[in-house]
Amino acid sequence: MHSRLYKCFFISHKAPYTKDRMGSKFGIGSLSIVMTLLLSLVPKLEAAFTTVEQAIQSDGSISFLVIGDWGRRGLYNQSQVALQMGKIGEKMDIDFVVSTGDNIYDNGMKSIDDPAFQLSFVNIYTSPSLQKPWYLVLGNHDYRGDVEAQLSPALRSIDSRWICMRSFIVDAEIAELFFVDTTPFVDAYFLNPEGQNYDWRGVSPRESYLQTTLKDLETSLRESTAKWKIVVGHHAIKSASIHGNTKELESLLLPILEANNVDLYVNGHDHCLQHISTSQSPIQFITSGGGSKAWRGYYNWKTPEDMKFFYDGQGFMSIKITRTEMGIVFYDVFGNILHKWNTSKVLYKDLDFSL
């Protein structure tokens, strides 16, 4: 096994920052209208997402694992899932790990000194193959704690694997991964927080934050020359489990993804594994949220032909990408393969017309 170098290029982020913690109260209908109008008025500027450059294998491929909803101090089979991740990671010689959010339960981190970081991350994912960059987005449970703590570069002095930002890009040459902060899109966290306190520093005013996020994502996707485009968020666009489809993302995010040839949308939030492919969209909708507590016992999907795979238990997934092929594999807590899916893509510029 050989180590790989990776470089981070930090570009200034133009999302607004304020100490105001009050959420704006508007429904999805008015939100969609407002966001459409705002986006139409925004000048086409250079995207402001931070970009991380990820080295690829010598054969031009990349491989990585995806895990979500995991940070429970080793409980609920988190340690067992981590063990199998290490074994699969070694077999694949993975380049990095993606987390789809809810990194620390139940209420995020209290501070950068919170022992939960050690107990739920550093001490759990100890396999040699997992000592690679971890790219993480925030989930709704992370927003219930000190968000700035999870985002702090100080955590990298404790464990250099930890690369957590609100929205950012991982550029791996043949593929680009676009990480999107989806929690601020969900109306319920603002209108009906059910007694939970959310840390909206860096998000308020909400309308401006969402406008900037969507604008920067659309610009980044449109200007991307990557062969494969993957978008990662915490909340599902489509899901058969207990949280179901996220209507705000269906309305605001999905049209941007479809207009810019995104291949996969990968999320967590629902504590299960699933693969949905509909005739209405070219995107594959992938859930990897089985990192620890699972077995919700809920399933609701009305078009069975769209549901390619659903598993209500713990597990994770792998993705391997070459210039012309992509393959995903789902695994359970014992490392058993549950589901495979492969696709290929040949672009016009790849064709050889020489005589």
Q: For residue 331, is pLDDT > 60?
A: yes
**Confidence grade of residue 346 (pLDDT, cut at 50, 70, 90):** confident
Closest CA to 295 of 316, 274, 312, 273: 312
253-267 pLDDT, tens per residue? 999 999 999 999 999
102 assigned to a ligand binding site: yes
The yes-or-no verdict on residue 13 having pLDDT over 60 is no
pLDDT for 349? 60
pLDDT mean over 343-355: 69
pLDDT at residue 16, as a whole number: 28
Question: Residue 262: what pLDDT?
Answer: 98
Q: In angstroms, rounded to a whole number, what is the distance separating the alpha carbons of residues 23 and 334? A: 42
Residue 13 assigned ligand-binding role: no
**Mind telling me the catalytic residues?**
243
CA-to-CA distance for 283 and 266, rounded, in angstroms? 10
Write down the mean pLDDT value for the chain: 89
* For range 127-156, the mean pLDDT: 98
Q: What is the mean pLDDT of residues 120-138?
A: 98
pLDDT at 8: 42
CA atoms within 13 A on the CB side of 114: 24
pTM of the model: 0.86
pLDDT tens track for 109-126: 999 999 999 999 999 999
How much is the average pLDDT of 54-75? 98
**Over 80: is that where the pLDDT of 11 sits?**
no
105 is known to lie in a ligand binding site: yes
Percent above pLDDT 70 for the chain: 84
59 is an annotated ligand-binding site residue: no
SS (H, E, C) 70-92: CCCCCCCCHHHHHHHHHHHHHHH
